[in-house]
Structure 1
């Protein structure tokens, strides 16, 4: 069974867990929370492991977290005290990390390993919703700090065999990520960007799709949506790993004025 690949929105900081009593989040975050909560059930089979690329880890070369379960990095600021005590105690998957490393090296990608780094909030916040029992092991993979779109698509292609080995490949970011642009006044520009991005991502021709998404800076409102590209690059990995499979616009919502999308390949 071949698993799809995903680009999923990870929200803003610990947005789904702001109530110290565990109550529901602000209404604007609830559609995204519901989407994440249903992800695993929508797969053709339950993954034996997850390989996740977060927009919050950049290294000079692709780096794989080889630890067997990691501490959490509360890499957000100014949130309620209880959000710095959140837990997600899934195990790591060193065997999947080794397999991913071998695939990347065989495709000519230099790689590094890091057994100590904790999981950032681009990992544990969406995973606390998607896998609340923390019963699927996870490997985090970094972005390359050059943020080269074509290189990240190629990285995804190299990892594609994992899909037939029970590993879910997921990119965790935000399709719109301009922290200075908030409120209803930005929604029209965000809509324009989202429509253009979605048209590129769902292009039925795989070669054209990859070329259009790699050239994301040419799309309308591109640098308004992403002054820096790190929250978009996980999409490139998911797209590359998706290969020639059909691309689906899997989620659309509006938060803090931003139109935000999620995508599935396969």
Structure 2
């Protein structure tokens, strides 16, 4: 199989694919961008390694169960969204391979055979693979949220791209839930302009810009806590020398916010 690209996906809010009646056309652009990924990669990968913003551990944690359960890690949504099933299989052998790669890079990694799919994984991947027929392994963030260690994790996992594994960082390019409306417009647009410009830099400069992301305009207004940005570091690290392509961008998400997703390679 050809070398697969990696992705950083802005995954939207909550279980949005199951709330199209409530949200109307708000998610049409994101949905279209996700549904286009199989075309971009010319089919289905052997498996997906999903770096989720919704899981953190003292070490890097890797879901290793063969049949992961569901985690409804949201609140205030209609009852049917707590019965959603996305029954993609796990991939224990891939989980073990990912742990070995991380450990070889001196990055502590632990298997978790009980971890289920959180909404950062199932809401992002349902539009991509609606038949739930591609195995998925989740990778957590590491406590401390150090950009360099997450970039290093991506570098360590880059070999998976040659093995038919699609590496997907699932987060949001803007994630301030206290200002997820017009109040966040200025910050989201300022940070998004910086992020899009950073993605167009030569590889070494791009890496340094991402490591120094807190210096970006409105950085802490856009990400009071950076867990939704760090999946980008892993996706970038796994394709560090490759060009970035913007695969999703909106200027008025939820009426006012700028959000983006990127493909590397």
Partner of 1:9: 10
SS of the aligned residue for 2:166 comes to strand
Partner of 2:138: 140
Partner of 1:249: 246
CA contact (8 A) 2:14 2:74 kept: yes
CA contact (8 A) 2:52 2:138 kept: yes
Q: CA deviation at 1:242?
A: 0.9
Partner of 1:225: 222
> What CA distance in whole angstroms lies between the structure 2 residues aligned with 1:112 and 1:57?
13
Q: CA deviation at 1:45?
A: 4.3
CA contact (8 A) 1:75 1:120 kept: yes
Q: CA deviation at 1:25?
A: 4.2
Pair 1:264-2:263 in alignment: yes
Aligned length: 262
Runs of 4+ in 1 over 3 A off after TM superposition: none
CA contact (8 A) 2:248 2:262 kept: yes
Give 1:74-89 correspondences, 5 Å limit: 74-89=72-87
> What CA distance in whole angstroms lies between the structure 1 residues aligned with 2:181 and 2:206?
31
Partner of 1:115: 113
Per the normalisation by structure 1, the TM-score is: 0.95
> What CA distance in whole angstroms lies between the structure 2 residues aligned with 1:44 and 1:242?
18
* RMSD across aligned positions (CA): 1.3
> What CA distance in whole angstroms lies between the structure 1 residues aligned with 2:108 and 2:116?
22
Please list every run of 5 or more consecutive structure 1 residues that lacks an aligned counterpart in the other structure.
Answer: none
> What CA distance in whole angstroms lies between the structure 2 residues aligned with 1:137 and 1:186?
36
CA contact (8 A) 1:5 1:168 kept: yes
CA contact (8 A) 2:170 2:231 kept: yes
CA contact (8 A) 2:176 2:184 kept: no
Please list every run of 5 or more consecutive structure 2 residues that lacks an aligned counterpart in the other structure.
Answer: none
Partner of 1:209: 206
